[in-house]
Structure 1
Amino acid sequence: MTTPRHSIFQHSTIASLAAGVFDDDLTLQELLGHGSFGLGTFNALDGEMIVLDGVCYQMRSDGSISQPPMSANTPYAMVTNFVPTLRTELKGDLLRKSVNQIISELEPSPNYLYAVRITGEFNWVTTRTVAKQTRPYPPLVEATDGEDVLRFENVKGVLAGFRTPEFQATVSVPGCHVHFIDDERTMGGHVVDYELKSGVAELCIGTDLQLRLPVTKEFMQANLTPEDLMEQLNKAEHSDH
C-alpha cells in the first residue's frame, strides 16, 4: 500500500505559545489559503479557533461564538485540506481515552501527523476556553491556570484537530489536540474530556509539514526549550494520546 502525500500547514510552534508569544501578523485570510480544516488561537489568546469547511469560528471565554473578520491575526494555528483516508464507526459510551486508543490502532504508523475529525452524539463534553490576555503576556501555563471548565450534556457536534507524534513535541501539541463545536455553532472550546455515545472518526494522514515561523522580536528572544516544557504543555493543553 502506497501512502498518499498530504500537506499540513502550521504557523509558529507550541513551544513559542508556551513561552508567551501571543501576537503575530498572520491573517485568517492567509491562514485559510493553506487549508479549510483545523484549529488554533487568536492574537492575545482571545479565544479558541476551530476551522470547518473553510469557515473559521472564534470561541471566546464569555461563551460567545462568532465568525471573526478575515483581517484578524493568529499567533498559532494548524490547518489542512481535510481528505480522510481512514474511517471507523464508534459506539458504546466511549470516553476520550478509549476513543484515542481505537484511533491509535487505526493509524498505519505513529510517526506521522494526522488531522482527525470526530462527528457524532456526545453524552457530555467538557471544554475550557482561554481568556484574552493583556501585555506583558504571561507564559501559557499561567494564562490558562484557573480557567473554568464547562460541561455540555447530550449534544451533537464535531471534534476537530490533530494527532502529533512525540518527536514533534516542541513543534505541535504531542498526542491528540482537539477543539469542539456543536452542530448549532452555539457552544464549544478546547476539549478536556468527553463521552461519545455514537459517531464516526475520520483521519487524514499528514506526510508533509509546512512550518511558518514568526519574525517578531518576541519570537526571536523566546526560550523555546525550557526543561519543563512537556510539563507546561500537559497542564496548559490537557493533551492526551
Structure 2
Amino acid sequence: MGDEVSAVEALRRWAHWPRPSETTVAELLRHGTLGIGALADAGDEVVVVDRQAVRLRSDGTASPADDADRVPFAMTTTFSPDLAMTVGSVGSRAALEELIDDALPPGDFVVAVHATGRFGRVCTGVGPVQTVEHRTTTGSLVGFRAPRSSGVQGADHHLVFLDTAQRHGGSLVDFDDFSGRVELGFSTAARLSTAPRTEP
C-alpha cells in the first residue's frame, strides 16, 4: 500500500468503498458468519466469527460489539471451508501467507481465511511501531486474501487476530510461531457492507 494501515483499511481501499454506510452490527450478522470491518468509532474494528461480532480496539483489547454499533465498511461471507490444512509449525505471518498461497488453485479470487491454534507471540496494530504484543496465546486469525488492485500480480492477506477468550486482538502485524488448523473458503462469495438503509 506504500504506507502502514490496518488490515481493514487496506481491504477497504482494495474494494474501492469510500462511501459511508449506515449498516449496523445487527444487520452485518445477517449477511454472514465470518468477516472483518470498521466501526464508526475512530480506530475500532469488528471481527465476525461464527455469527458473533467482537469489537477490536486500538489498544489491543476486545469485547462484544453492540448490535446498534454502526459499521462504515465490512466484508463478510457465509463461511464454508473448501480447503483445510493442519499446520505443525510456521514461524511468521509471511510464511503462513506463502503456505496459503501455495495451497490454493490458480486464479485471482477472494478467499476467506480462518486459522485457529496456538501462537508463540502475536503483534497487532497499525504498522511496525504502533503495535500491541500478545504472548503465548491461543486464538484465531480471520480475514480475506484478495487480489491486488491495478493489475499487479499476487494477492494481499487482510487478517485480524482474536484470542480464544475474545478479550484481546487487532489487525495482524506478525507472529513468531503458529501451530493449528487453517481453513480457506472460496466457493461462497464475500459480501461488502450494504448501502445506507432506507426507512420503511
Shorter chain as denominator, the TM-score bin is: 0.7 to 0.9
1:64 to partner: Cα distance: 3.4
Identify if the C-alpha distance between structure 1 residues 168 and 195 changes in structure 2 by more than 3 Å, giving closer, same or farther: farther
Given candidates 38, 57, 60, the residue that maps to 1:60 is 57
Query: Residues 26 and 68 of structure 2 are in contact (CA less than 8 Å); yes or no, is this contact kept in structure 1?
Result: yes
Matches within 5 A, 1:185-204: 185-204=166-185
Counterpart in the other structure of 1:156: 138
Identify if the C-alpha distance between structure 1 residues 168 and 79 changes in structure 2 by more than 3 Å, giving closer, same or farther: farther
Counterpart in the other structure of 2:186: 205
Matches within 5 A, 1:58-207: 58-128=55-125, 148-167=130-149, 175-206=156-187
What are the ranges of 5 or more consecutive residues in structure 2 without an aligned counterpart? Answer: 1-10
Quote the Cα distance in structure 2 between the aligned partners of 1:61 and 1:121.
Answer: 22
1:182 to partner: Cα distance: 0.6
Identify if the C-alpha distance between structure 1 residues 62 and 17 changes in structure 2 by more than 3 Å, giving closer, same or farther: farther
Deviations 1:122-172 (A, max 9, x none): 1111001xxxxxxxxxxxxxxx68962011111110000000012488xxx
Identify if the C-alpha distance between structure 1 residues 91 and 78 changes in structure 2 by more than 3 Å, giving closer, same or farther: same
Structure 2 length-normalised TM: 0.80
Larger radius of gyration between Structure 1 and Structure 2: 1
Counterpart in the other structure of 1:224: none
Identify if the C-alpha distance between structure 1 residues 120 and 127 changes in structure 2 by more than 3 Å, giving closer, same or farther: same
- Structure with greater helix share of residues: 1
Query: Residues 31 and 191 of structure 2 are in contact (CA less than 8 Å); yes or no, is this contact kept in structure 1?
Result: no
Identify if the C-alpha distance between structure 1 residues 92 and 68 changes in structure 2 by more than 3 Å, giving closer, same or farther: closer
Counterpart in the other structure of 2:46: 49
Quote the Cα distance in structure 1 between the aligned partners of 2:61 and 2:177.
Answer: 24
Letter aligned with residue 87 of structure 1:
A
1:60 to partner: Cα distance: 1.3
Q: How many pairs does the alignment contain?
A: 184
Deviations 1:172-213 (A, max 9, x none): xx5100110111112110000112331111100046454456
Query: Residues 56 and 170 of structure 2 are in contact (CA less than 8 Å); yes or no, is this contact kept in structure 1?
Result: yes
Quote the Cα distance in structure 1 between the aligned partners of 2:175 and 2:28.
Answer: 29
Counterpart in the other structure of 2:23: 26
Letter aligned with residue 200 of structure 1:
R
1:69 to partner: Cα distance: 1.8
Taking every aligned residue pair, what percent have the same amino acid on both sides?
28
Identify if the C-alpha distance between structure 1 residues 124 and 29 changes in structure 2 by more than 3 Å, giving closer, same or farther: same
- RMSD over aligned Cα atoms: 2.8
Letter aligned with residue 70 of structure 1:
D
1:62 to partner: Cα distance: 3.8
Quote the Cα distance in structure 1 between the aligned partners of 2:98 and 2:14.
Answer: 29
- Give the stretch that moved more between structures: 184-193 or 54-63: 54-63
Identify if the C-alpha distance between structure 1 residues 211 and 149 changes in structure 2 by more than 3 Å, giving closer, same or farther: closer
